[in-house]
Amino acid sequence: MDILNGVMQGLQVAFSVEGILLVFIGVLIGTLIGMIPGLGPITAIGVMIPISYGMDINLALIMMAGVYYGAIFGGSTSSILLNAPGVEGTISTAFDGYPMAQKGHAGKALAIAAICSFVGGTVGVVLLMTFAPALASVAVAFGPAEYFALMLLALTAITSLSDGSMSKALISGVLGFMVATVGIDGQTGTPRFTFGNINLLNGIEFLVIGLGLFAIAEVAVLIINRHKAQAKMHKIGSLRLTKEDFKEMRGPMARQSLIGFLIGVLPGAGATIASFIGYTSEKKLSKKPEEFGKGAVAGLAGPETANNAATSGAFVPLLSLGIPGSGTTAVMLGAFLVMGIQPGPLLMTDHPTLFWAIIISMYIGNIFLLILNLPLIPYISKILMIPRPMLISLVIFFCVIGIYTLSFNVFDLYLLLFFGVIGFLIKLVRIPAAPFILAFILGDMMEQSLRKALTISNGSLSIFIEKPIAVSLLIVSVLSLMIPPLFKYIKKKNTSEQPMDM
């Protein structure tokens, strides 16, 4: 009965005139910020905290939640149109979204992203409402050994991110791991690979690498091939999706809504890892994996569904345990504490109105996001009609502003240029950038999880086979590496054994 009362009170807050208005403002601000490369929900929520002083606590927090998932929803736009990810969670969106836009189907790509984002976000909210308390206990069961096994499973995705050459994918992954080790060692406090430069003590920001490898490198390519690129990119294409498109979207949306949500539940995983796993798992399951990276519908639908489902999942540890599931929810936790609210197991009983108002407002927010984005696609797509010199200048401008506002350090701009050159060079030699990004994301988490696990076990590797979850994930990792080459070998053998036509 108490739960029912809480739900009713939450409905009253979420569906009040002020509640609906603030959800709309939150998702609108989040969407606009998500479209700008380099800026993200962390910056937006940080700015919102002082603005929300004096507001009703329930209304202020549902507005900040709207900024969060609105930014993930809107971040796909710059990834698809400019190959410049608006937020970290939309890196994978660019893998097939940008090639689709290059082929003159930008409208179609944005429509797929909007629909999949809506489905992933809505399913995530339903799962959050239904299973939050139970899934919180699952998140607690993940210790260092389980996290290492999960990261290792995600790392096996490198085999899927290679463009035919496994050696080039491994080179890219190793480079990513090397960059991930730059900075102060979290356990010993020893500087590593900083070359005496104090600017590298805190490591290298993810967005510096992401925007350098993708946006700045793409700018260089556009400058070199500007006439050829302009002819292709001026075509926006129709927004209409065919039955075949919906058929290809159906499976990824169903699978990645669940997978993305579950990954979002794990503290520290977040939308970025969910989107990578969404992309790579769909490529492994696809009957036409060779189309991925060239504008595949499933290659866009998978990560877009997963990252939006993960944003809902990230609220499970935040609301149920008081543990932030991502960098953005860490800022959200700060907002809760500033307003005198302690998230955790007692939140549902001590503040039921707030708990249910946030969850219910997500339904409203997802509807607003769909209503906002679908009608605006023809206008958003006109970014491609901007003259090429001006568009290149705008991309560079937003990248520079976005990176500078991360730390207000000019050195980060030099790093942006450096990784832009690296990105351009690896494009020339056809080394994929995706394994670099994935290895960089996972590198620090894998290292820390491994070292913590070995510390707990006094250096014994048996901890990885004594934990049921860890050993299960390790087995799946081995199978994910072995099965694709095995199937390829069997297919090749069957083809060679077929009798030749006389």
Q: What is the pTM of this model?
A: 0.73
Q: What is the pLDDT of residues 254-277, one digit of tens each?
A: 999 998 888 887 766 677 788 888
Q: What is the pLDDT of residues 387-426, one digit of tens each?
A: 777 777 877 887 888 788 777 889 999 999 999 999 899 8
Q: How far is CA 241 from the centre of its chain?
A: 24
Please report which confidence band the pLDDT of residue 284 belongs to, taking 50, 70 and 90 as the band edges: confident
**The residue to which tokens 């910020």 are assigned:** 33
Answer yes or no: is pLDDT of 361 > 80: yes
CA–CA distance from 64 to each of 26, 45, 60, 334, 373 (Å)? 6, 6, 6, 12, 19
Q: What is the pLDDT of residues 36-69, one digit of tens each?
A: 765 667 667 766 777 777 788 888 888 888 887 7
CA–CA distance from 203 to each of 45, 63, 417 (Å)? 23, 32, 16
pLDDT of 40: 65
Rounded Cα distance between 133 and 394, Å, is 45
Q: What is the pLDDT of residues 296-328, one digit of tens each?
A: 888 899 999 998 888 888 877 777 766 665 667
CB 275 within 8 A of CB 92: yes
For the chain, what is the mean pLDDT? Answer: 79
Angle at which helices 106-140 and 57-74 cross, to 10°: 130
Q: What is the pLDDT of residues 123-164, one digit of tens each?
A: 888 888 777 666 656 666 778 888 888 778 777 766 655 555
Mean pLDDT (whole number) for 100-113: 86
pLDDT of 36: 72
**Cβ-based neighbours of 215, under 8 Å, separated by 6 or more:** 37, 82, 83, 84, 85, 395, 399, 420
Task: Give me the DSSP letters along 312-369.
Answer: HHTHHHHHHHS--SSHHHHHHHHHHHHTT---STTHHHHSHHHHHHHHHHHHHHHHHH
Rounded Cα distance between 222 and 392, Å, is 8
pLDDT of 349: 72
The closest of 67, 53, 95 to 302, measured between CA atoms, is 95
- Residue 183 has phi, psi (to 5 degrees) of 120, -170
Residues in the chain: 502
242-246, 411-415, 493-497: segment of lowest average pLDDT? 493-497
Answer yes or no: is pLDDT of 485 > 60: yes
Q: What is the pLDDT of residues 366-390, one digit of tens each?
A: 888 888 877 777 777 666 666 777 7
**The residue to which tokens 């004594």 are assigned:** 466
- Beta bridge partners of residue 191, listed in sequence order: 184
pLDDT of 502: 47
pLDDT of 231: 47
Please report which confidence band the pLDDT of residue 106 belongs to, taking 50, 70 and 90 as the band edges: confident
Answer yes or no: is pLDDT of 1 > 50: no
User: What is the CA angle 257-449-158, rounded to 5?
Assistant: 55
Rounded Cα distance between 256 and 260, Å, is 5
Rounded Cα distance between 439 and 108, Å, is 31
pLDDT of 422: 92
pLDDT of 133: 63
Tokens found for residue 458: 């006094």
The closest of 267, 346, 303 to 117, measured between CA atoms, is 303
pLDDT of 417: 92
Rg of the Cα atoms in the chain: 22
**Cβ-based neighbours of 497, under 8 Å, separated by 6 or more:** none
Which tops the pLDDT comparison, 169 or 21? 21
- Beta bridge partners of residue 192, listed in sequence order: 183
Please report which confidence band the pLDDT of residue 236 belongs to, taking 50, 70 and 90 as the band edges: low
CB 90 within 8 A of CB 84: no
